[in-house]
Amino acid sequence: MHLFCRCGQSMTLSFRMLVFENMYQIDLVPILECEDCSYYELIPSIKQDVTRLLAELKEQSREGRVVFTSVNELASVLYDIYKSGQELLEVSSFNTFLVEKCEERINLLLDLYGYASRAGDADWMEEISFRLAALSSFVKKRQFLETK
Ligand SMILES: [Zn+2]
């Protein structure tokens, strides 16, 4: 668990724009930041998604800014928590809180899915399934701050 910075201070949830090779900008990436020494690091469970997105951007030679919270459902839930000012919860309770918030989002997406299904909108259904899958796998693992 990466609860504390190498300087000994606790780290809090924050968001930041990451720029790779001066070309690819990924905005609103959730990070853990130390208030004391300005060191920050990517959240382990998000890291591979950022890496995958960057690889996709490179493949498509898509320069410019991509908003991570609009393509990553977990980041989107984290951003809601952040905006509501609840990121300062104790880290020990944060994981449980995050899982609850993810479950709320899953229920919302399931409602949307039903709606899309009744409307017979296959593209929309597919998009919702994709968003659901990412959250479901996270909720199953329940490991926000660990890499496995
Ligand atoms: Zn520090």
- 38 Cα to the center of ligand 1, angstroms: 6
- 13 Cα to the center of ligand 1, angstroms: 13
Over 50: is that where the pLDDT of 19 sits?
A: yes
Task: Tell me the average pLDDT across 63-78.
Answer: 92
Q: What is the pLDDT of residue 140?
A: 82
CA 139 vs CA 26, 62, 105: distances in Å: 24, 31, 11
- 41 Cα to the center of ligand 1, angstroms: 11
- 34 Cα to the center of ligand 1, angstroms: 5
Query: Of 49-53, 55-59, 107-111, 130-134, which range is least confident?
Result: 130-134
Q: What is the pLDDT of residue 98?
A: 86
Highest mean pLDDT among 36-45, 58-67, 81-90, 93-102: 58-67
- 5 Cα to the center of ligand 1, angstroms: 5
- 4 Cα to the center of ligand 1, angstroms: 8
Over 70: is that where the pLDDT of 146 sits?
A: no
pTM of the model: 0.83
- 46 Cα to the center of ligand 1, angstroms: 21
DSSP letters spanning 88-133: TS-HHHHHHHHHHHHHHHHHHHHHHHHHHHHHT-HHHHHHHHHHHH
